[in-house]
Structure 1
């Protein structure tokens, strides 16, 4: 009876030792993954911080008075008055909504476009939807436009530098961060891409000509 009990205790000890070793092995295997994931997250954070001085963020709109782009907004209002552009109902965004929108976009929205969304909302005209937030019409929704474009036709390089802000049946308009400084405006389709303006204000001025 005593021998049997001693044998049972030895078996329990072996099982405990085996379980401890297995647990240690699992921890050893998991540790490099944790370190790797942490390193990747820190690398992404570092990339964001290094770009923040060159790219505008959603919250920048609060630091810049609306008169920062007086010609841009005035020109857009003239185009609306001339019925060349139409503001989509209930599409103006608050600063909080703009900040929330920014967290779901792959690249920053320039200040002028943010101010357009805050003062006027999403617009339609010249065959395009100039998008913002819209649950009823996906063509007027920035998040949908960029998700669909990245899934369907943008190359990997384009996906890293283009933020699409308007779409027609065949073409898109996008902010291009392919070069330093303010994003340029490019027009493209699934095969071609061409620069059309040095920035959003210049593009709107072209629409008014």
Structure 2
């Protein structure tokens, strides 16, 4: 009887191992096909697939504090003049459009970013789309980015704290309202976040360095 029980236990263990292996095979097969909608849409935007960019590398190095608050528009215009950022055609917003956009977003849009959208429009550079309003380019539309991110990328707690304003094919940039005061700028990679700057003006100033 003892030998029979041992044999039964061995058979159960083998069946369990087979079922586990089969489950793993199915996951491996289906995972590449289940890319999230945001990643799929971003991948359609261009044929360029840079391995890294100035933004991805420079902001990973030790953080140098900026003592003064820069003129965010002046810094952005300088980056455009240096061809590091490119305004998207016909993307500047009127006051009425900006009001409608901010009302459609789940969290407040910082004043500096609103000034950018009014004066310069949505921008592209450093491997990212700095979004505003767009009916033709999903990566350049703030409302779409935040709807898709809440569905594909963020946990429920992150969704309450983050307003995404830029996206690349693999990462996003967001305003974090996890703390009191002005929203900090963070970079997200999946559900992992890296703190980049104390506010949007400081973030843009660092891009100009």
> Is TM (by shorter chain) over 0.5?
yes
Which residue in 2 is equivalent to 1:154?
Answer: 154
Q: Which residue of 1 aligns with 2:167?
A: 167
Unpaired runs of at least 5, structure 1: 1-68
Question: May I ask how many residue pairs the two structures share in their alignment?
Answer: 141
Supply the distance in 2 between the matched residues of 1:154 and 1:191 (Cα, whole angstroms).
6
Residue 103 of structure 1 and its aligned partner are, at CA, apart by 1.5
Alignment of 1:29-178 (within 5 A): 71-178=71-178
Corresponding residue SS for 1:186: strand
Task: Report the Cα offset of residue 191 of structure 1.
Answer: 3.6
Runs of 4+ in 1 over 6 A off after TM superposition: none
Residue 157 of structure 1 aligns to a residue whose secondary structure is helix
| Structure 2, unaligned runs of 5 or more | 1-68
Q: CA RMSD in A?
A: 1.0
Structure with more contact order per residue of length (Cα contacts < 8 Å, sep ≥ 6) = 2
Mapped to 1, the partners of 2:178 and 2:149 lie a distance apart of 17
More helix by share: 1
| TM-score, scaled relative to structure 1 | 0.66
Mapped to 1, the partners of 2:96 and 2:189 lie a distance apart of 32
TM superposition score normalised by structure 2: 0.66
Cα deviation for residue 189 of structure 1 reads 1.4
Partner deviation per Cα, 1:144-173 (whole Å, 9 max, x = no partner): 000000011200010000000000010000
Cα offsets for 1:77-110 (capped at 9, x unmatched): 0000110000000000011111100111100100
